[in-house]
Amino acid sequence: MRSYYERRAPEYDDWWLGSGRFAQRDRPGWHEDVAALCAALAAQRPARTLDVACGTGFLTAHLPGEVTGLDQSERMLAVAAARLPGARFVHGDALGPPFAAGAFERVHTAHFYGHLDPAQREAFLAVAGRLAPELVIVDSALRPDGEPEAWQERELDDGSRHSVYKRWFTAGSLAGEIGGAEVVHAGPWFVAVRRRGGSLAAEGRDARAALACGQEPAVRSDRAGSRAPSA
């Protein structure tokens, strides 16, 4: 996954903007839902925010308050820094971020949680709960004809191919999984939920244990061939 996102950095925003290989992709309502998601995030109260796995900073630009972006890809961070020269960006591991407990008021992450296996999810929620009392997660909406999880074979513009684990959510399923969050956005392509207060490390662990029940992300997609990248 590290190599995948490092290689994908120059083309990542094509996915958001509907350019490049996504120009001809049939995604009805896509641009409207991107705009609605950005508006929902911008409408939050300003907060001292850590954007975990910030990528190119596409959504970071819409987060209100003092924002620090964290990502493991230096190429992603270079794009983000060029987009938001006034923001702070840090190279580091999302599951072991170099910040003190309580350093932020909000942890935000987009299109990261859905790539984590059960152990990583628990580790991330524990980290988020240590860093801030509020957590916002944005991820991909489960489409009517879609599958909730899959291993995908993805091909990038440079010709490289990568196996990527991915999950899709309804707003309700994501809110319930992290322990009683509220829905920030529920659209055809994106969902966003917010968890305030309490101990994410403790409460989220119980919800995830009941959901996972020993299930591991081991089922590969039966779709033939490689596919254009998703988030």
Q: What is the pLDDT of residues 84-135, one digit of tens each?
A: 998 999 999 999 999 999 999 999 999 999 999 999 999 999 999 999 999 9
- Domain of residue 95: give its range: 2-212
- Of 36, 68, 43, nearest in space to 191 by CA: 36
Over residues 194-206, the mean pLDDT reads 59
Is 221 domain-assigned? no
Q: State phi, psi for 55 to the nearest 5 degrees.
A: 60, -135
Is 71 in contact with 53 (CB distance < 8 Å)? yes
Lowest mean pLDDT among 101-110, 132-141, 206-215: 206-215
Count of domains for the chain: 1
Residue where the block lists tokens 């029940």: 213
In the prediction, which pLDDT does 209 show? 40
CATH of residue 30's domain is 3.40.50.150
pLDDT band at 2 (very low <50, low <70, confident <90, very high): confident
Is 217 domain-assigned? no
In the prediction, which pLDDT does 218 show? 36
Is 231 domain-assigned? no
In the prediction, which pLDDT does 197 show? 80
Is 50 domain-assigned? yes
